[in-house]
A and B are shown apart, each in its own frame.
Chain A
Amino acid sequence: MEKNPLTLIGTQLVRSDASEKVLGAAKYVDDLHFSDTVYLAIRTAEVASGALRSIDISKARGSHGVLAVLTHADIPGENQMGSPVPDYPILLKPGDEIRYVGDYVAFVVAHTREQALRAAEKVTVMVAEKKPVLSLNERIRELQKGGDYVPAVHQKIRKGDSDPKTMFDSCDYVFEGDFFADYQEHAYLETQGMIALYDQDNVMTIYGSMQCPYYVQNGVARALGFPINRIRIIQSVTGGAFGGKEEVPTYFAIPAALAAYHLHRPVKLVLSREEDIQWTSKRHPIKSRYKVGIADYGRLRSIQVEAHADIGGHSTLSPTVLWRSSVHAAGAYEIPNVRVDVYGHYTNKVPSGAYRGFGSPQVFIGIEGIIDDVADHLKKDRLYLRKINALEKGKTTPTGHLLPESVGAKKTLEEVERLSDWERLKERVAQFNREHKHLKRGVGIAHIHYGVALGAMGHALDASGAFVNVLPDGSISVHIGGTEMGQGAKTVIGAIVGEVLQQPMEKIHVYQTDTFFLPDSGPTVASRTTVFSGNAAVLACQELLKTLTALYSTEMAVPPQSVRYTGGVFSNTEGQKPVGFGELAGIALKKNIGLCATGWFQTPRLTWDPENGFGEAYVTYSFASQIVVVEVDCLTAEVVVKEVYTAHDVGKALNPDGVIGQIHGGFVQGMGYALYENLKVNEKGKIVSDNFNTLTIPTIHETPEIFKVSIVEEPFSKGPFGAKGIGEPSLIPTPAAIANAVSDAIGKRVREIPIRKEYLLDLIRTAP
């Protein structure tokens, strides 16, 4: 069928869920109510390390309003929620090792949440305490001692000459540096929550705030010992996630489901902000050491990276997160010789996990800092140095992935150069600095790539479904396996369906994700939803068009190859015998012709050598370049971001406003990480900053006044209409760009984020 001009894709769209959200009518999990609901509270270990000796629930059981106190003995299935590594019991039993303060000891169910919380305090536990390991450095020293200590995770990349003894021999200059990126808390505005109902069809139905309903389904089935077909997960409207609702919601769905299983009543668990911050994953703290060799007047020749991550008390997603760190550690450049080792170490702290960027922002601060060092040493322009090393079509990534298409890397660099008026910007900032003694401005650049979807390590999960059903009135219902968590999935999928079927957005309804409608479509993570759910929706719509075309051909006695479909109207090649989509759908349904179709998109295959850490890591890469201007008060170490220029290669911006919204939000979240968000853990392994009075996230005052965005479109041939991902690349360059800008302002290399005031003051005061 011929191509029609695009009417929705690339146009200005109003979010399909905007109306319910601005009316305050959208139902988040805590807004749902079922009669006879009872409430759950979790009793955690409260010590960071040790062995559980005994649990006494008698006082809690007798507490006012209590219906049940559940312990390890009440788990009908497997007492395990660790995946892929089975190191995370749901409920500790006597003899078990306590790995962090939030490990579960008992679940208390009562008529009200307050009663449950009060009773949970009455569960008494005896513990043989051990001194907790709270510092990553302690683990690194253990590894360096060379004894029998084995880190929980080790991911590596090897390309070209990766022998540290020889790989720098051919380099003219060698640069080295240490970097550290600390925790970041997701701080989605809606805390985690679940409601479990053990009701109709003997099925455990769970509503909740989440990104990955299929993870929850599998985790709950395992805990209850149910076949997966008796677990149904319905995602409620989700108030932000950013990776924080990837693996973690399972840990709250399981308690709710266990209680509903035993009590046969709806069970609600919605976390307080303090519980949410104490018990949910964080961005991994990562220490890294970089060694970079340069040849030919600024060409990157060799890179060696050794990085160490604090994975906390349980390994959860750390192997996958740190694999992504390893793939991105050498940066978005062409480098012939690469050696990367990323280690993950257990500590007795909250498990680190998925967070927007998935282990990459922490390593980009390293490579991007070193690139500036190189440029400065060689007296070359920092943007120029990035340009001459940037990836291009036909070049290979640091993992040896030959890029056949969709490489907008250089274009993003050219775009920020244009947007910022680079030469004049530098002059403007220099002028400001000549005129000010204590206030200093600095310019920072960062250039990144980001592998879209789950990549070679996540092949098994990297497929997605969509179900599209045309109803007798011509309206269209769409179910996808990906989730809407605020990023705009419903809107972009609606636009894709509307574009392929040539129907207006008003006729299309994209539903909340429900595991009953589609097979396991993998997680809504890794900036993969537009590509994966989008492609599945395209496939389903193409099926429907085939059916309708065949019907039209029979009805109108027109050969199938001469059927035309334009502007939502079927006709013959001359444009005669027009029949609209809705009318033809009505005819089809009267003739008992089904107008529903499932699309199933599988990831393109990748060739990857896990032994040597080499090959095609991801199906495609998004690229971004960013320039920021900061102002540093050298007396107080106050840092303000004044200007932002950012360019993103997204393949094709299907919903440009949505893309820009991601870029704004990602930037400010990344800025929070770089400058403000100090997550403090005390000597007992507890997080001290567990609410917004102590954990400062950016307010409206911190939003930069000058914020210019450029969208670069280098189409990805396997993406819907050429699209790649933007969810995470929106944040990834920002911490590095800001660290570089602050470095520029003070004339010394910033090596830590968040850039704490005490750290920055010390740096300002020490001689260069």
Chain B
Amino acid sequence: MELHLFVNGKEVTTSVPENRRALDFLRKDLGLKSVKEGCGEGECGACTILLDGKAVCSCLLFASDLAGRRVLTLESLGKEGHLHPIQQAFAETGAVQCGFCTPGMILSVKSLLDENPSPDDEAIKKALEGNLCRCTGYVKIIEAVKRAVAIIKSQGLMI
């Protein structure tokens, strides 16, 4: 089928098989390797993308579900030497160990902070409950979100 959508700010027009998972379309067809597959069942959150600003599991969607919508993957955030405040906070806080959950985790945080720039602990946990991490025990991840909030506020940034 014909597919027209916006990926990381760019217009994409392509054709995909109807049963192509959004995850495979992004990873394999568009080469956006930050989108990870951890379980294929929408349980682990490694494949999180932002769809019109909301964090969703791309393994549970078909490519066709993306038609006409805005998709953001981690590739769109920072660049080497110019990290996005959430990326900077994750790096500096020690919220990254093996890094496999990190892309999805950061996108879930972005979705949260776009909606709620000053989340409390409960809001942070709620926003990240769908992102599993097996390395950090989540302690530093919660700290990183708070640090990201502080960086964003101190720089007067809009994210």
Contact = CB atoms under 8 A, between A and B. Distances in A.
Interface of A: 14-15, 17-28, 30-31, 186-191, 237-242, 272-273, 485-488, 657-658, 660-661, 664-669, 691-693, 697-701, 703, 705, 707
A239 B103 CA distance: 12
A485 B98 contact: yes
A19 B91 contact: yes
B83 interface: yes
Interface in B84-104: 87-88, 90-92, 94, 96-103
Among A242, A700, A705, find the residue whose CB has the most chain B CB atoms closer than 10 A.
A700
A273 B106 contact: no
Contacts of B140: 661, 664
Given A669-B137, A701-B129, A703-B139, A28 B39 contact: no
Nearest to B79: A23
B38 interface: yes
Contacts of A242: 134
Contacts of B43: 691-693
B98 A239 contact: yes
Given A17-B96, A24-B106, 19 more contacts: A15-B91, A18-B90, A24-B34, A24-B103, A25-B34, A27-B33, A28-B36, A187-B134, A188-B134, A189-B133, A190-B98, A239-B100, A661-B140, A664-B136, A669-B134, A691-B40, A691-B43, A699-B129, A700-B138
Contacts of B88: 22
29 contacts: A14-B91, A15-B94, A21-B91, A22-B78, A23-B34, A24-B33, A24-B73, A24-B102, A31-B33, A186-B134, A188-B134, A189-B36, A189-B133, A191-B38, A240-B100, A486-B100, A660-B94, A661-B140, A664-B137, A665-B134, A669-B134, A691-B43, A692-B132, A693-B43, A698-B137, A700-B133, A700-B138, A700-B141, A703-B142
Contacts of B37: 30
A527 to B, nearest CB: 15
A19 B75 contact: no
A22 B106 CA distance: 8
| Chief secondary structure at chain B's binding surface | loop
A58 B133 CA distance: 43
A665 B100 contact: no
The 5 closest A-B pairs by CB, nearest first: A24-B34, A486-B98, A239-B100, A21-B99, A668-B137
B125 interface: yes
A757 to B, nearest CB: 20
A273 B38 contact: yes
A705 B46 CA distance: 24
A698 B101 CA distance: 14
Given A28-B36, A189-B46, A691-B39, A22 B83 contact: yes
B129 A692 contact: no
A241 B135 CA distance: 9
A190 B97 contact: no
A486 B135 contact: yes
Contact of A22 (B35, B41, B96): B96
Nearest to A709: B139
B44 interface: yes
Contacts of B91: 14-15, 18-19, 21-22
Contact of B78 (A23, A191, A665, A698): A23
